[in-house]
Each structure stands twice: as structure tokens, then as C-alpha cells.
Structure 1
Amino acid sequence: MNNDSSAKIKELTKKAELFGLHKNNQLPESNAKILDSADRAKRLLSTEELNILCERSHSDASKLEELQNILPRLIDEAKDVLLRRFPEIIEPGGSLYPEERAEACWRDCFHFARISIYGTAAGNTDITDKEGVKAVQELYSILEVPVNALMICLKELQVKCREIYFESTQQKDLELLDGCFNHLVATMESMQ
């Protein structure tokens, strides 16, 4: 990789921001601050933050906390599905080889789920930042990120997250969560 490519990647990395809900001027400022703080730290929401956000959206904070608690396992399950379908993807010559590329993919899955949880807690499925998505798309193109593999993981992760709501009365929450994931899938499809 030459210096020009390195500089471009650094520039795009600064601009590459998928999450944009905290910029929504219809959210109370206190909620926007919670979302912005959590997103900047790339972390899940605390119990208190979930309760504050869900108070306004009427989403079930305890169900979202349960989802957050098992998120690593759900990501591993989604990863396993992808690797069973396409084991060669992590072999030499595969699009998730070497291991660092695969680890970046799994991290992206975590971040997709994380911001879907943010959207569900805030009661809004329009969770992306249009300008940030353009930078992500350009960055993915330069780095030759296997968007198709990422989408398979994302869709499988959505299925796994939905299972938390199986036999639950929180239909509205499930629709919100699905809406957030569907929004991300549509965003990823536009990158192909």
C-alpha cells in the first residue's frame, strides 16, 4: 500500500460513521447525548441509559439488556453459519483471509448489532448517517471488504437477535429491531 492509499484510508476512517441517529433533531437532547456518548465509545448501553431511552420509546429495556448480554454468543453463532456455508472464505485467497480481516468482519457485526439496539431503544429505525455511510462505502471498496459475507453475517445476526423476542409480547420492539437491521441490510446492499 502506497502513502497516498494510506492517507486516503486514514481520511476515510475519520469520516466513516455508520450511526447517525444521535443527530436526529427530533430526539430529546439528553437522549441524543446518551447515543452520541455510547457511539463514540463504541460500546453497548448501560442499564441506566437503556431505561432512559426506553422510557420515551416504550421499548422493553430489560429485553434489550438481555440481548446485549448475549450479543457475543449471537455473533459467534452468525459467524459459524457463514463459515459452514463458505469455509474457504478464511483460507488463503479467501476474502476474510488473513485472520485480521475476519476479526474486522466480526467487529463490524458487533457494531451493526450495537447500533440496531440503539435504534430500538430510541424507537427509531433510521439509524445511519448518510455522509458517514458514503465514507464507509469508499473505505470498504479500497480495502476490498467482502460486503456479501458481511451481509450474510448481518442477516444471520438479525435472525439470532429476533429469537430473543420469540413468544414475546413486545411485537413493537421486534418490529423496531427488525427495522434497524433491515435499514442496515439495505445500506449494505447499496455498497455492492
Structure 2
Amino acid sequence: MELTSTVRELIVKARIVSFEDWKSTHSPAIIALFQSADDRRVYLTDDELGKIEANSSSNLNLIPIARLLRDAATEIVDDARARVLASFPTITQPGGGLYPAARAEACWRDFWHFLRCVTYGIAGGSVEYTSDTGLHYMNLLYQELQVPLAAMVLGLQELKTASLSRVEPDLQPTLAPYFDRLIIKLQEFQK
């Protein structure tokens, strides 16, 4: 699938996370760890999580959760994908919003990246991890590509469900807002 120059430009600008609001709560060195991981579009490594843990006193109980979700990312995304396909059984067939296969693969990759971004918020102990500007460009990108938003929102909700099912019930209310932040932002694309 050939991407237009507009789509290529929007992909570059569609950055979900921003650590701008963290300057008063996180050291420049810790913000740089998060920014580097985001620039590389990867989950935080054990070494990076260890450094964050060593420099934080407020969110120590969340670092292991970020690690757990990172380690289970493939299974979590698979669970969310299965739920989306069950709810939208023709979405990957001719005429469906995720046809041809390259469109579906891009969607599942977005699920992986959504979870990655949520884990940054969790590891940083800050629900304020999204970029309004980056999400604006993501909205434009999704409009340009005619991404099926209902399926994407459901996918995010299912990422939340699959993730929370992997943690202790008493931690679920603490973690839910990290997912809700992104779910609400994506729901706004539908308006």
C-alpha cells in the first residue's frame, strides 16, 4: 500500500505522548529516558525501568506493572484483536474497514503502540502523558486513512480489559485512568 506524502507527514507528527507536563515532577534525566524510548518507539527496558525506579519514590508500585504489561504486550494485543474481530467479523474482509491485510496489520501495530504509551504513563506515575498536538495529527491521519474509529476505540477498551485482568484486583482502579486517558482522547475523534 503506497502512502501519500500527506499520510507520511501526518505519521511523523502523530505522536501520542508528551512529557512536557512532567518537568515539575520528573528530573530531566528521567524525562530523557522516556523521550528516548518514545523516539525509538519501544517499550522501556529493564535497565530504564530500574533507573526510573531508583529515582522515584511516589510510583514504586507501578514500575513492576509497566514491566508486566510490556512483557505481556503480545498476548494483550492478541486478546484485544480477537475481541475486535469478534465484534466486527467482516472488518478484515473485502469492503471492511481493515481490508486489505496491510490495513489490519497497521491497526494491530497501533494497539501495540497504544499499550506502549500507556506503560510510559504508568512507569512515570502520571496520567498526564498524552500530547494534544500529537493526537490532533493522529486524528487527521485516521481521517485521511479512513480508519474505522469504532473498532479502534473498542480495541483500546479491550487493551484495558486484557491488561487489568493481569494485575491484582486492588490495583485495577489505580491503573484504569491511564487507559481511560487514551480511550477518551480516541473517542473524541468520533465527534
TM over 0.5: yes
Could you tell me whether the CA contact under 8 Å between 2:62 and 2:125 is conserved in 1?
Answer: no
Where in structure 2 are the equivalents of 1:26-175 lying within 5 Å? 26=24, 27-55=26-54, 56=56, 57-167=59-169, 171=171, 174-175=172-173
Question: Would you say 1:13 and 2:11 are equivalent positions?
Answer: yes
Measure how far apart 1:23 and its partner are. Answer: 5.8
Measure how far apart 1:14 and its partner are. Answer: 1.9
CA distance in 2, matches of 1:97, 1:153: 17
Could you tell me whether the CA contact under 8 Å between 2:66 and 2:120 is conserved in 1?
Answer: no
Fraction of identical pairs, as percent: 29
Q: Residue type matched to 1:8 in 2? A: T
Q: Point out where structure 2 has 5 or more consecutive residues left out of the alignment.
A: none
Cα deviations by residue, 1:119-173 (Å, 9 ceiling, x for unpaired):
0010001111111111111111011011110111110110110012134x5x3xx
Runs of 4+ in 1 over 4 A off after TM superposition: none
TM-score for both structures, normalised by structure 2 = 0.89
Q: Residue type matched to 2:92 in 1? A: I
Cα deviations by residue, 1:36-90 (Å, 9 ceiling, x for unpaired):
1100111111112112223412234333222211110111111111111211011
Q: Residue type matched to 2:186 in 1? A: M
Q: 1:156 to 1:187 in 2, by over 3 A?
A: same
Look up the SS of the partner of 2:102 in the other structure: helix
Could you tell me whether the CA contact under 8 Å between 1:74 and 1:157 is conserved in 2?
Answer: yes
Could you tell me whether the CA contact under 8 Å between 1:15 and 1:132 is conserved in 2?
Answer: yes
CA distance in 2, matches of 1:176, 1:43: 24
Q: What RMSD in Å do the two structures reach over aligned CA positions?
A: 2.0
Cα deviations by residue, 1:67-120 (Å, 9 ceiling, x for unpaired):
211110111111111111211011100001111111111111111111111100
Q: Point out where structure 1 has 5 or more consecutive residues left out of the alignment.
A: none
